[in-house]
A = this chain, B = another copy of it.
Amino acid sequence: MTRKPLLLTVIASSIFAASAFAAAPGNDPAALVKIRDTALASDWAYERLADMTDLIGPRLSGSAGEAAAVRQVADTMRKLGATVTLEPVKVPHWVRGVETGELVEYKGRPDGVSQRVVLTALGGSGATPASGLNAQVIVVRNFDELKARAAEVKGRIVLFDVPFDQFMADRGLAGPAYGQGSNYRSNGPRMAAQLGAVAALVRSVGGANYRIAHTGATRLDDNARIPAAAVSVEDAMLMSRLAARGPLTMRLTLTPQTKPDADSFNVIADFPGTDKPGEIVIVSGHLDSWDLGTGAHDDAAGVVGAMAVVDTLKKLNLRPRRTIRVIAWANEENGTRGARAYLESNKAKVETHFAAIESDNGAGRPFGMRMSVGPQAVKLFAPLQAVLQPIGAGTFRREDVLGTGDLSGLEKAGVPSFAPLLDTSTYFHYHHTAADTFDKVDKEDLRRHVALMASTTWFLANMEEPIGRWSELR
């Protein structure tokens, strides 16, 4: 899959060029039904998911896995006959090192005993000395408590012990629940550093407790890049309980390295439109992943879902009116450099973007789409919803701001943006952990995911009416 000879690319492209694609039938419901049902009957996306996660695995920016994923996606899209452009992007190159934690002093500790802490460095973390550091731990539950205890922070390790609200996540509010927790991961270490902390820890942001650590990016100031890690939920609770008994001292070793920026690429694959080839509908996911798991839900599922849009149309010999642009974004996780590069290179061409989709919430069962369009545009999607409703994916919910990782720049510039509305109740069980692996993706849910992505992309690429640019309406 990753080593397709050049000859095959040429043949595939030739077949594509020569094939008698049907004329675009606009938004004929019959075409939408065919797209939906073709997607529901195919495991092409599931097989590509296996290729990306089993053969490559983790794809952190700057890694060999990320480079392999660029090649794999480009090859796959070329095989489908798309025109592939690799857009260069300089990405952060942060490499995890040793990471250990040990509770070495606490009230009631028996002779010879210490407690091991499960933790993992946050992306962008600084390093401790190679031999580690020892410091007393101060546990806080929120930023107010950090401020109230500011005088105690200097020279200490701060632990932000903020529980993830799984109750919310179980009830369709995984996003806000994640936002509440990840706020401490993103900003807590920097604030602790500003108060003189020697290191910062956060409770892992996730709702399943199996002593695993959830990594993610943290925003440290360059002049105060302290060691920062996520501890498992269990260890955060343990440290809180021990700190409540008396002074708690921890030995922490984190040896990540920040290397010079590396070369990567946005993989951009165009499936040209018939009568409006200059108008673009983006369908996308992000190519990179964290380094602990194989990034199956986050975000191989999004990338293969986007690629499968073209596979589905090709199976049906359908050509869209507008150009469908599949993008596998570089570096969503720790920099969004890919999205920024695209925005920069397309700043004069934003108007040519009719709409954009990104799938970056895993492959849970899809319920429909979230969309940042003008209120007057909602009714335009009724024919699409009618086709998706029988598979439970007909809910199209307008939101003022989607704020997805890679589309937010385009969205702010006014491009109508879409993101699948999914079951995310278990997404944050695995997200950014070693457990985000192929087996977590349900084959049937992924088929539905592709049905939603392909139907919506097709619908957008063939709409008669303009959606209207939401920013102009605000």
Name the distance in Å between A75's Cβ and chain B's nearest Cβ.
Answer: 11
A67 and B112 in contact, given A211-B293, A238-B54 (Cβ under 8 angstroms): yes
Q: Is A108 a contact of B51 with CB atoms below 8 Å? A: yes
Give the distance in Å from the alpha carbon of A68 to the alpha carbon of B233 in the complex.
26
* A106 CA to B2 CA, complexed, in Å: 13
The oligomer's copy count stands at 2
Contacts of A111 in B (CB 8 A): 64, 68
Checking B55, B68, B110, B211 against A434 with a beta-carbon cut-off of 8 angstroms, the contacting residue is B211
Q: Is A95 an interface residue (CB 8 A)?
A: no
Instruction: Please tell me if A118 contacts chain B, counting CB pairs below 8 Å.
Output: yes
Q: Is A185 an interface residue (CB 8 A)?
A: no
- A293: chain B residues within 8 A (beta carbon): 211
| Shortest beta-carbon distance from A65 to chain B in Å | 6
Chain A interface bracket (under 10, 10 to 19, 20 to 34, 35 or more) = 35 or more
Which of B110, B210, B429 has a CB less than 8 Å from the CB of A433?
A: B210
Are B110 and A55 within 8 A (Cβ)? yes
Q: List 20 A-B contacts (CB under 8 A).
A: A2-B108, A2-B110, A55-B108, A55-B113, A64-B110, A68-B110, A68-B111, A68-B112, A118-B434, A209-B439, A209-B440, A210-B429, A210-B433, A211-B212, A234-B435, A234-B437, A234-B438, A234-B439, A237-B438, A238-B438
Residues of A bordering B, CB below 8 Å: 1-2, 50-51, 54-57, 64-65, 67-68, 71-72, 106, 108-113, 115-116, 118, 208-212, 233-234, 237-238, 241-242, 293-294, 429-430, 433-435, 437-440
Closest 5 CB pairs of A and B: A64-B112, A68-B110, A210-B210, A211-B435, A211-B434
